[in-house]
């Protein structure tokens, strides 16, 4: 009894250690279910071919996914040439992109992913004996000219490349795993690693110096103990109670125990995938998902995942297949922001996080709309808060110092300033003096030492109805001011009393001085993009969707400590290098994650940034934000000629639609439409597209997220269609899809016919 109690305590402590290190894990990007187009929700296998397409096995057929649409293949008994069965148990891609499909019925099909033709292998007389023998897990490998198949009996079969011969290999102990590593084929048993060459001869036997798990013989067909080759040169095998690492360089083994004694479900049945960093991901029902990093540290990735890992695609997305709930996607490379809910108002939530805890200030803040609060973070650490609500009291301005002490003064007024005047914007000049500007373009100073608000200047410009002029930003210099407004950009020079107006036809909605080049102003606009303005030369340059900006509305501009610009756009959260060399659109997970509101932004003294809206807010450290550097391929998914879809097997290519490089068409088949998709699957709605028909288009045609290019009545001639996609952060890929097109003229316009007529 005491011995049993000690074991229970040990196991409890082991689990506690694991869960103490458990993280929430990567956020769930999205779920793909039958409602999205999957043929069925039980996912048995997911693989990615060399072109980038994702292939998915279910209990109701096969699906090909391009990030936007599913192309489904079903078992229809009355149709010849289709899938041999409907319930798929396993998928495997060979080196030529042929998809090997096993079924619960025991059949084996070989599916050409380009032409979509099927070879029903077990329907052939010479391979009929294989029916029903394929075990789940890693059962196939591809060597130079041969296919090796692992049976659920622990035996190995070899099929030649022409699918004409079958060989049989049997070892003393059942083979529990099979792998191709370098020039060797490695078979795993409970007792040894067996290395074979391409001629099937044993070159080395390595004894495993650990006792095997005591499992009944009936589990041979359920276990997958295939060797996993890792980038660091180690060979790793996952057993039911441990992980074994073997280093071929010094022929040493290391065993890492697993807390599997509380659960008798066979861990080796679970899919195991290796990430781009060399980490191995696998699942165990009672702890969700675990990973083994390159340093052999075992971690709990998440306790909330509902299935087993099936694939980590080339862009770093983890695909988890579930038993009826479809597919879950997790991004292992980018820090996606999770939107937090708002309790009351954006500014009350944010200022509380900033340390504001004052009853009078909070009572005032509760009465201000999120669109009417204004703030200024001064150089000495003082946070100033005001309101621009119509008919608001100018004396409602208060401040909080770096020690979180709130100063709510009884303001005195000098210079004839009315008490009821909204503070539309605030700024600090180079000497440290705090300025405010009112609705009617009045400038005043706020002096906390004397608790005095003093009227200084009235900007001399006839703006008409002040309520039609939304002042939203102020930049204070030594003797001049820059004022952003929905009527444009204003410059007021105190010395000569003159006001100059710039961009009168542009609705300016945000302004920020460059943190490194003080002569540069960044101006956010409504529908006119982002403007870089030089205050010395008065020259400007515009960034719009035509040169890489994701959307032409930009607001809420902030700068981080690294000198990057942040703001919101009509398509989400933007980061922008001040030199214009990088534009990223960051992804926010949650309901309406990309929607933000004007004036719902804040910069904390520690450098964190906050942006919010009606559906919540995000707070993050810009230094911790990873960017999407993936360069996706563009895949052509459909082609229409005169409104008729081109079949997979066509006259232009033996490699399917996506493999077409040249289309030669007669003059009367000259209306073409192309559908395409980018092979990046985390957030396809963030992918941008552009295309150009060289010979017709003068430059790129930017189509946003629309993935169709249509050309009607193309004149006879030679053309090149270029198609390009961005990643999820708006960076254009360096991989451009090119299709050459030749439209032949009618015979009466050919040179030989014209020559004959002449």
Q: Are 535 and 521 in contact (CB under 8 A)?
A: yes
Q: Tokens representing 276?
A: 């781009």
360 Rama sector, left if φ>0, alpha if ψ -120 to 50, beta otherwise = alpha
Tell me 461's DSSP state.
-
Residue 722 and residue 179: Cα distance in Å, rounded? 40
Whether 37 has a pLDDT exceeding 50, the answer reads yes
Domain limits of the chain?
2-33+121-332, 34-120, 335-367+507-623, 372-502, 634-748
Beta strands 337-338; 588-589: pairing state: parallel
Residue range 305-327, pLDDT digits in tens? 778 889 999 988 999 998 889 99
* Mean pLDDT, all residues of the chain: 88
Element (H, E) at 373: strand 373-377
Confidence at residue 270, expressed as pLDDT on a 0 to 100 scale: 63
Residue 301 and residue 320: Cα distance in Å, rounded? 13
Q: Taking the model in full, what pTM does it have?
A: 0.77
| Spatial strand order in the sheet of 242-247 | 228-229, 235-238, 242-247, 252-257
Query: Coil, helix or strand for 365?
Result: helix
Whether 55 has a pLDDT exceeding 80, the answer reads yes
Confidence at residue 491, expressed as pLDDT on a 0 to 100 scale: 97
% of the chain at pLDDT higher than 70: 93
Whether 429 has a pLDDT exceeding 90, the answer reads yes
Tell me 82's DSSP state.
S
Tell me 547's DSSP state.
G
In terms of Cα–Cα distance, which of 614, 532, 609, 538 is closest to 574?
609
Confidence band of 44 (pLDDT split at 50, 70, 90): very high
Q: Enumerate residues 6+ apart whose C-beta is below 8 A from 498.
A: 460, 492
Confidence at residue 334, expressed as pLDDT on a 0 to 100 scale: 74
Residue 530 and residue 551: Cα distance in Å, rounded? 9
% of the chain at pLDDT higher than 90: 59
Confidence at residue 747, expressed as pLDDT on a 0 to 100 scale: 67
Chain CA centroid to CA 664, Å: 38
Q: Which long-range contacts (CB under 8 A, 24 or more apart) does 600-606 make?
A: 600/346, 600/347, 600/370, 600/556, 601/556, 601/558, 601/568, 602/347, 602/350, 602/351, 602/354, 602/375, 603/377, 603/558, 604/353, 604/354, 605/354, 605/377, 605/381, 605/383, 605/402
Whether 442 has a pLDDT exceeding 70, the answer reads yes
Confidence at residue 286, expressed as pLDDT on a 0 to 100 scale: 52
Higher pLDDT, 258 or 3: 258
**Burial state string for 572-595 with b = 16 or more CB within 10 A and e = fewer than 16:** bbbbbebeeeebbbbbbbbeebbb
**What does CATH list as the number for 335-367+507-623?**
2.130.10.10
Residue 356 and residue 348: Cα distance in Å, rounded? 9
742 Rama sector, left if φ>0, alpha if ψ -120 to 50, beta otherwise = beta
Confidence band of 8 (pLDDT split at 50, 70, 90): very low
**What does CATH list as the number for 34-120?**
2.40.10
Residue range 640-694, pLDDT digits in tens? 999 999 998 888 988 889 999 999 999 999 999 999 999 999 888 889 899 999 9
Query: Coil, helix or strand for 686?
Result: helix
Residue 559 and residue 131: Cα distance in Å, rounded? 64
Q: Are 697 and 689 in contact (CB under 8 A)?
A: no
Confidence at residue 703, expressed as pLDDT on a 0 to 100 scale: 92
Confidence at residue 738, expressed as pLDDT on a 0 to 100 scale: 97
Residue range 264-302, pLDDT digits in tens? 555 555 678 998 888 999 886 655 788 899 998 988 887
Beta strands 452-458; 412-414: pairing state: parallel
CATH classification (class only), 634-748: mainly beta
Whether 578 has a pLDDT exceeding 90, the answer reads no
Confidence at residue 299, expressed as pLDDT on a 0 to 100 scale: 84
Q: Enumerate residues 6+ apart whose C-beta is below 8 A from 360.
A: 406, 408
Tell me which fold the domain 2-33+121-332 belongs to: Methylamine Dehydrogenase; Chain H (2.130.10)
Residue 54 and residue 757: Cα distance in Å, rounded? 56
Q: Which of 207-221, 529-543, 580-594 has the lowest mean pLDDT?
A: 580-594
Higher pLDDT, 371 or 466: 371
Tell me 572's DSSP state.
E
User: Which residue(s) pair with 530 in the sheet?
Assistant: 524, 543
Q: Give the dihedral of Cα atoms 560, 563, 569, 572; nearest 10 deg.
A: -60
Element (H, E) at 724: strand 717-725
Confidence at residue 587, expressed as pLDDT on a 0 to 100 scale: 77
Distances from the Cα of 443 to the Cα of 384, 432, 468, 484, 573, angstroms: 16, 16, 18, 14, 32
CATH for 372-502, options being 3.40.50.261, 2.130.10.10, 2.40.30.10, 2.30.30.180: 2.130.10.10
Residue range 459-489, pLDDT digits in tens? 998 877 766 789 999 999 999 999 999 999 9
| Spatial strand order in the sheet of 288-292 | 272-274, 280-284, 288-292, 298-302
Confidence at residue 63, expressed as pLDDT on a 0 to 100 scale: 97
Domains 2-33+121-332 and 34-120 share a fold: no
Whether 21 has a pLDDT exceeding 60, the answer reads no
Confidence band of 547 (pLDDT split at 50, 70, 90): confident
Higher pLDDT, 585 or 747: 585
Confidence at residue 19, expressed as pLDDT on a 0 to 100 scale: 39
């Amino acid at each position: 009894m005491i011995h049993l109690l000690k074991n229970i305590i040990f196991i409890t402590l082991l689990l506690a250690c694991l869960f103490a290190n458990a993280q929430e894990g990567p956020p769930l990007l999205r779920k793909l279910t039958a409602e999205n187009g999957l043929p069925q929700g039980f996912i048995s296998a997911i693989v990615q071919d060399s072109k980038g397409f994702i292939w998915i096995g279910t209990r109701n057929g096969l699906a090909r996914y391009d990030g936007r649409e599913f192309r489904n293949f079903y078992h229809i008994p009355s149709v010849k040439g289709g899938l041999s069965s409907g319930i798929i148990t396993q998928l495997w891609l060979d080196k030529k992109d042929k998809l090997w499909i096993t079924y619960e019925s025991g059949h084996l099909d070989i599916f050409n992913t380009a032409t979509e033709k099927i070879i029903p292998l077990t329907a052939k007389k010479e391979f009929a004996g294989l029916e029903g023998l394929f075990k789940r897990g890693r059962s196939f490998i591809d060597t130079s000219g041969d296919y090796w198949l692992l049976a659920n009996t622990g035996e190995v079969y070899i099929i030649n490349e022409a699918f004409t011969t079958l060989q049989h290999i049997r070892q003393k102990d059942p083979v529990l795993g099979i792998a191709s590593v370098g020039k060797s084929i490695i078979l795993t048993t409970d007792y040894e690693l067996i290395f074979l060459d391409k001629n099937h001869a044993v070159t080395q036997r390595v004894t495993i110096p650990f006792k095997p798990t005591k499992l009944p013989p009936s589990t041979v067909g359920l276990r997958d103990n295939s060797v996993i080759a890792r980038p660091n040169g180690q060979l790793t095998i996952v057993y039911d109670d441990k992980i074994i690492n073997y280093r071929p360089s010094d022929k040493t083994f290391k065993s890492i125990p697993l807390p599997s004694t509380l659960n008798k479900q066979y861990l080796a049945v679970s899919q195991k995938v290796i990430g781009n960093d060399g980490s191995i991901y696998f699942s165990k029902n009672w702890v969700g998902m675990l990973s083994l990093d390159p340093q052999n540290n075992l971690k709990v990735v998440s306790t909330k995942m509902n299935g087993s890992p099936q694939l980590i695609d080339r862009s770093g997305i983890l695909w988890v297949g579930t038993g009826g709930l479809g597919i879950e996607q997790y991004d292992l490379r980018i820090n996606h922001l999770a939107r937090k809910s708002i309790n009351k108002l954006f500014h009350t939530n944010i200022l509380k996080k900033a340390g504001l805890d004052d009853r009078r200030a909070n009572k005032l803040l509760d009465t201000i709309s999120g669109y009417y609060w204004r703030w200024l973070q001064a150089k000495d650490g003082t946070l100033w808060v005001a309101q621009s609500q119509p008919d608001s009291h100018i004396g409602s301005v208060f401040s909080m110092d770096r020690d979180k002490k709130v100063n709510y003064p009884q303001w005195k007024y000098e210079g004839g300033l009315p008490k009821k005047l909204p503070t539309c914007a605030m700024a600090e000049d180079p000497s440290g003096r705090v300025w405010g500007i009112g609705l009617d373009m009045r400038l005043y100073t706020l002096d906390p030492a004397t608790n005095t608000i003093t009227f200084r200047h009235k900007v001399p410009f006839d703006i008409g109805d002040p309520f039609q002029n939304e002042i939203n930003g102020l930049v204070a210099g030594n003797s001049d001011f820059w004022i952003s407004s929905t009527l444009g950009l204003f410059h007021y020079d105190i010395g000569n009393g003159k006001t100059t107006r710039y961009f009168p036809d542009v609705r300016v909605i945000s302004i920020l001085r460059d943190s490194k080049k003080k002569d540069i102003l960044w101006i956010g606009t409504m529908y006119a993009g982002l403007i870089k303005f030089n205050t010395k030369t008065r020259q400007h340059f515009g960034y719009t969707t035509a040169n890489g900006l994701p959307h032409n509305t930009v607001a809420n501009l902030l700068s981080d400590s690294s000198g990057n610009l942040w703001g919101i756009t009509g398509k989400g959260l933007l980061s922008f290098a001040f030199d214009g060399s990088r534009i990223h659109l960051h992804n926010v997970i949650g309901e309406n994650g990309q929607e933000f509101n004007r004036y719902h932004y804040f910069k904390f003294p520690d450098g964190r940034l906050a942006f919010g809206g009606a559906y919540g807010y995000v707070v993050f450290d810009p230094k911790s934000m990873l960017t999407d550097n993936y360069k996706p391929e563009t895949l052509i998914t459909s082609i229409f000629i005169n409104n008729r879809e081109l079949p997979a097997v066509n006259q232009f290519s033996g490699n399917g639609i996506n493999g077409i490089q040249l289309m030669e068409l007669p003059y009367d088949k000259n209306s073409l439409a192309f559908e395409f998709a980018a092979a990046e699957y985390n957030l396809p709605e963030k992918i941008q597209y552009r295309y150009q028909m060289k010979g017709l288009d003068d430059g790129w045609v930017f189509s946003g997220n629309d993935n169709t290019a249509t050309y009607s009545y193309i004149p006879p001639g030679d053309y090149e269609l270029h198609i390009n996609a961005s990643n999820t952060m708006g960076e254009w890929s360096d991989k451009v899809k090119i299709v050459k097109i030749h439209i032949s003229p009618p015979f009466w316009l050919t040179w030989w016919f014209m020559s004959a007529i002449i």
